[in-house]
Amino acid sequence: MRLRRAASLAIIEEEGRGVVVYLAQEGRGIGLLNKIKAYTLQEKGFDTVDANLRLGLPVDLRHYGVGAQILLDLGLSTIRLLTNNPKKIIGVEGYGLTVLEQIPIAVTPNPHNLAYLRAKANRLGHVIHHQGLAVDESAASPGLHDARPAAPNLPADPGT
């Protein structure tokens, strides 16, 4: 999260304008205590989705209405959205904003986050980018997806 936030701020700084709206929806809206419980399950081998489900929680409880209202109150009606999560586009458009462009936030895979990024891409539909290369279903070298071989510059999935 901290790296994505820093990357987002760098993109906004480069653009010379932008708005950051932070909504306290820890752990995709399940709350801090449940997020800690989910982390414990992830340490036991569950991915981020299965950890929520094992706790009897929905995969994603976030709501985007407050954030959309803040942007509308600022006078915005069309935006370029910094996100890897296509569902956020649907979420804010449902409140009257028009998303002109989804701008991905580059995330560098490493041994500590690879399984998490793979779950985000494969199970939650996130578009994960690395070094300017899209590593999603439509990419020629989708390194994070289990069904295809890893791109040369991304670590292979040890489970394949």
Active site residues: 60, 62
Place of tokens 């942007």: 71
Task: Characterize the bridge pairing of strands 129-130 and 98-103.
Answer: unpaired
First to last CA, the chain: 27
Q: Is 63 left (phi over 0), alpha (psi -120 to 50) or beta?
A: beta
Residue 35 structure tokens:
């997020």
Q: Where are any strands of DSSP class E within the chain?
A: 78-82, 98-103, 129-130, 133-134
Task: Name the nearest CA neighbour of 138 among 154, 124, 121.
Answer: 121
